[in-house]
Structure 1
Amino acid sequence: MSSNESPTPAVHTVTTAPRSLAEDQAMRTKRYLVSMSIRTLCFVLLVVVDHPVRWLFLVAAAVLPYFAVVLANAVDHRSETEMTPLDHRRSLRAATPADREPLEGRVIEAPPTQRDQHV
């Protein structure tokens, strides 16, 4: 960094931010309901199917509640990782090769609105 450049503040990524409580509860509830729906389907198939495979439906219906509870109680571990700052200058250098010239352009002013004219 040269002496005339001012230091830029660190930019944090939001991918490590935890989900909101409502979003987390909705996701966990959905996982539990899907698991219990599959269990209900296994019970129905146990009664309807007249084949030795019906015993697999019985085993699945007996085991699924355990997995449903484990999945429903799974915690989002993204919040436990430490946030690391992102060096935006480095990512910009990687996005644009150094041998390319910067793009030049012009600023086009928007036409004034009625609200702007009354001020």
Structure 2
Amino acid sequence: MTDNQNIRELADIPAVEVITRAAVMLMSAAAEKLGLADENPDESPHRDLDEARRLITALAGLVKASAEYLGPHARPLRDGLKSLQLAFREASAFPDEPGQGPGERFTGPVR
């Protein structure tokens, strides 16, 4: 496949689909960094809360900035984001103050 074919294929994909795919990739990566794919997340060799914080914050910014364009996709993305934020809080030995957790500057405090 040539670069021109790739560009044309991307040009045919609606923006909402590109945004949703990016959000799902961020969600999946954050879940991995939280160790959620393992039977015991606390013992996951993939757990890296610093990396998870970055991914969740990026996801929150994307969801916040694109919410008006997402239509019916907005709610599941917000729900997934909130679940990741809560999982991060639960995984933290010293949880952030409300409003200071990953992405909370975009979403507000998560409880």
Please report the TM-score for the alignment, with normalisation by the length of structure 1.
0.29
Higher normalized helix content (fraction of residues)? 2
Which structure's CA Rg is the greater one? 1
Q: Name which structure has the greater RCO, CA cutoff 8 Å, separation 6+.
A: 1
